[in-house]
A and B are shown apart, each in its own frame.
Chain A
């Protein structure tokens, strides 16, 4: 099956610094990738939709200047948390839209990146 990786799997950074998280589709081309955020014991909240070669579409309430998304190729999207603060600490998960066929559809999820801001 299709594989999506994320790097790093966990990161600790100091308040005020920026952190970049990569999401890669390893064996398929993903025209669309999604970024989600998950707080402990809570559901996944969609942050933004990332389309290759165009600007990301952000969900209501998500600061686009704080969470910079770049989808530079069909296999890579990056999320940069700028000037991170402790309240940005969370589990960030990406997904990529895989190949479609007539009978099924699936988003493939990465393993997640745990960000801790101290």
Chain B
């Protein structure tokens, strides 16, 4: 079955860049997503990338996709304390069903 893996924890200093990585196994993935979850809350879609793209930039967020290696990354520039949260990558095909990664807890310290 499909599998999506992430490193569990990332700690960065405020103002630095954060890079969160994700690997997936389903070669038929159509869309790949990054979601943010704050404590006790639902998920907020940050950005997504279509599988035929290799990069997408949206303000402080940069998504890189290496389809050959099935590797997705999210770079957050100028990381702020408000960025502290759990970040999930997810993939889907045309069925709309999302498969989530294991989540990366980002901690930003002053």
Q: Give chain A's interface residues, CB within 8 Å of chain B.
A: 6, 32, 34, 36, 41-46, 49, 93, 95, 97, 104-107, 109-112, 114
Contact A107 B102 (CB under 8 A): no
A-B interface pairs (CB < 8 A), number: 49
Which of A43, A104, A107, A111 is B103 in contact with, Cβ under 8 Å? Answer: A43
Q: How many of B's residues come within 8 Å of A, CB to CB?
A: 18
Q: Give chain B's interface residues, CB within 8 Å of chain A.
A: 31, 35, 40-45, 48, 88, 96-103
Contacting residues, chain A, for B43 (C-beta < 8 A) = 44, 93, 95, 109
Residue of B nearest to A60 (CB): B1
A46 to B96 alpha-carbon distance, docked (Å): 12
Contacting residues, chain B, for A49 (C-beta < 8 A) = 96-97
Given contacts A43-B88, A43-B103, contact A106 B96 (CB under 8 A): no
Given contacts A32-B96, A34-B98, A107-B96, contact A42 B103 (CB under 8 A): yes
Contact B97 A43 (CB under 8 A): no
> Closest Cβ of chain B: how far from A97's Cβ, in Å?
6
Contacting residues, chain A, for B42 (C-beta < 8 A) = 6, 93, 109-112
A41 to B86 alpha-carbon distance, docked (Å): 9
